[in-house]
Amino acid sequence: MDYTVIIGLEVHVQLLTRSKIFCGCSTEFNPTNPNVQTCPVCLGLPGALPVMNRQAFDLSLQTALALNCEISPFTKWDRKQYYYPDLPKGYQISQYDLPFSEDGWVEIDIDVAAGETKKIGIIRAHLEEDAGKNMHDESGRKTDSQVDLNRAGTPLLEIVSQPDMRSPAEAKRYLEELRLLLTYLGVSDCNMQEGSLRCDANVNLHIHEGVEKIATPIVEIKNLNSFRNVELAIEYEVQRQCEEWQKSHRKIGDVAKETRGWDAVRGVTFAQRGKEEASDYRYFPDPDLVPVIVPAERIEQVKAGLCEFPADRRKRLAVTYQLSDYDVRVVIDQGPAYADYFEHVAQTCGDGKQACNWVTQDVLRELNERKLTIGEFPISAEVLGKLLQRIPQKQITIKSAREVFMDLLAGADQGTAATSERIQQLIDEKGLAIVSDTGELEGVIASVVGKNPKAVADFQAGKQAAVGALIGQVMREVKGADPQTVRQMLIEKLSQ
Ligand SMILES: [Zn+2]
């Protein structure tokens, strides 16, 4: 069967505001104390009037500009009517025909090694309020269902992509790039476990039969809560739609759009309900909220204040610090604070590659083991940079630097701050300084050579390996000697 997979994604992002979108209630994630973050507005009590949260609008504006969207100078609020226990007003405040932004794109990598990229179109990004959460008893004892309205009224940005993705892997890549961008912008914590980022996938197939191209009915898979599940659910759905086509030969338009859920345990999608059309919701402008007018100067102002985007930062890091695409990706993918840390280390020690090796290996390993964020890491970028500086300056070896690094961490665990002074102290205490005084070395080398006539004879008979044992003996005598220098001096001595 010859077919193309067509995927479009709708992503709901919870914005990082302290209060809800139309009232002053806290947006904190608080599942243990239901219904405490509520007021007459988000409970939908009669007579309560909403007021727009300016911060929510500003964060959306930043995101839409970073997504290369056109910003509408005039935007309004609409009521999307439907009844559900977690929606006490009986309607959701959203944006229908005049969203605040439209027509953007995000660039994703298709093949990093080949430098192949692809632009995924963004149809629109609009603001709306979240509903509460219905909690059904899953113990099988059939107790009552409950409703928690702590989340009702949390600001959500809905980002709707064009159906531009052609494989589950591309869909996953798009989500990764989108999440990275949102993280760098600082507009959302993108915590999928807490529901700060949720995704619906629209999937169908274009079947190629001779010169004809037939589209199969579109299926929307709702509420995918991890990138892995997005990939798996789409993979499953493609297979299912192939089989469905062979059985029924149903085309787009023959049946209503279908909504399906994803059962991660069984690894299948399942039918939920026929998808409502927009007309079912009886959208109309919300009379309680004034339209929002965005002056051109405001857009320019927000644009000027935007951060460096991850894609741009990748390019700059590769050039500035002479890093491979792989290294740059590891640094950028860990988030803006980590990328800042790396840049600080690199600038302090003056060697980008060395800094990258340490930050992406030693530091990352310790962060993972200690379950710390880079902001909590006991060795500051300045101190690590100062430590690494000593390697090209031939003050200590890489091996000794590692020893100091681990000692700094162990010290921090005991309450000793990891400072530059502490580095010097450790080097002195352990005698790790590279001995640059060749006078001392010469004496030790002469004595070691004198004590090992067999090794000397072996070397002079052409056995290069014999020098290894002698290096070891010299290093034991002179702590902190640079092995390279010792080897060189030994060979010179033996060749005399
Ligand atoms: Zn409220």
CA distance 156 to 20: 10
Q: Distance from the CA of 186 to the center of ligand 1, in angstroms?
A: 24
Q: Distance from the CA of 93 to the center of ligand 1, in angstroms?
A: 14
Whether 128 contacts 93, CB under 8 Å: yes
Per-residue pLDDT at 221 exceeds 90: yes
Which residues are 117's β-sheet partners?
109
For 248-283, the DSSP string reads: H-PPBTTB--EEEEEETTTTEEEEEEEPPPGGGG--
Q: Distance from the CA of 48 to the center of ligand 1, in angstroms?
A: 10
Per-residue pLDDT, averaged over 469-478, amounts to 83
Q: Distance from the CA of 289 to the center of ligand 1, in angstroms?
A: 16
- Residue 77's nearest CA partner among 60, 63, 98, 56 is 98
- Residue 402's nearest CA partner among 363, 435, 367, 373 is 363
Per-residue pLDDT at 438 exceeds 80: no
Q: Distance from the CA of 193 to the center of ligand 1, in angstroms?
A: 23
Q: How confident is the model at residue 445 (pLDDT cuts 50, 70, 90)?
A: confident
pLDDT at residue number 436: 65
Q: Distance from the CA of 244 to the center of ligand 1, in angstroms?
A: 46
CA distance 408 to 423: 7
Cβ neighbours of residue 453 closer than 8 Å, sequence gap 6 or more: none
Q: Distance from the CA of 154 to the center of ligand 1, in angstroms?
A: 9
Span 6-29, pLDDT tens digits: 999 999 999 999 999 999 999 999
Per-residue pLDDT at 381 exceeds 90: yes
Per-residue pLDDT, averaged over 312-331, amounts to 94
Burial of residue 185 (CB within 10 Å: 0-12, 13-18, 19+) is buried
CA distance 456 to 466: 7
Q: In degrees, to the nearest 5, what angle opens at C-alpha 55 toward C-alphas 53 and 57? A: 75
Q: Distance from the CA of 142 to the center of ligand 1, in angstroms?
A: 31
Q: How much of the chain is in helix, strand and coil states, percent to nearest 5?
A: 40, 20, 35
pLDDT at residue number 275: 60
Burial of residue 304 (CB within 10 Å: 0-12, 13-18, 19+) is exposed
Q: Distance from the CA of 50 to the center of ligand 1, in angstroms?
A: 9
Cβ neighbours of residue 399 closer than 8 Å, sequence gap 6 or more: none
CA distance 389 to 346: 9
Backbone angles phi, psi at 263, to 5 degrees: -100, 100
pLDDT at residue number 421: 92
Cβ neighbours of residue 353 closer than 8 Å, sequence gap 6 or more: 321, 322, 323
pLDDT at residue number 119: 97
Q: Distance from the CA of 25 to the center of ligand 1, in angstroms?
A: 4
Per-residue pLDDT at 299 exceeds 90: yes
For 52-106, the DSSP string reads: --HHHHHHHHHHHHHTTPEEPSEE--EEEE---TT-TTSEEEE--SS-SEEEEEE
Q: What pTM, to 2 d.p., does this model score?
A: 0.84
Q: How confident is the model at residue 478 (pLDDT cuts 50, 70, 90)?
A: confident
- Residue 89's nearest CA partner among 56, 130, 126, 46 is 46
pLDDT at residue number 276: 65
Q: Distance from the CA of 51 to the center of ligand 1, in angstroms?
A: 11
Span 236-258, pLDDT tens digits: 999 999 999 999 999 988 888 88
More confident residue, 496 or 406: 406
Q: Distance from the CA of 46 to the center of ligand 1, in angstroms?
A: 13
pLDDT at residue number 247: 93
Q: How confident is the model at residue 340 (pLDDT cuts 50, 70, 90)?
A: very high
Q: Distance from the CA of 143 to the center of ligand 1, in angstroms?
A: 28
Q: How confident is the model at residue 303 (pLDDT cuts 50, 70, 90)?
A: very high
CA distance 96 to 325: 41
State how beta strands 219-224 and 258-263 pair: parallel
Q: Distance from the CA of 97 to the center of ligand 1, in angstroms?
A: 26
Per-residue pLDDT at 96 exceeds 90: yes
Q: Distance from the CA of 38 to the center of ligand 1, in angstroms?
A: 4
Mean residue pLDDT of the chain comes to 91
Q: Distance from the CA of 179 to the center of ligand 1, in angstroms?
A: 28
CA distance 120 to 11: 14
Q: Distance from the CA of 157 to the center of ligand 1, in angstroms?
A: 18
- Residue 188's nearest CA partner among 175, 200, 197 is 197
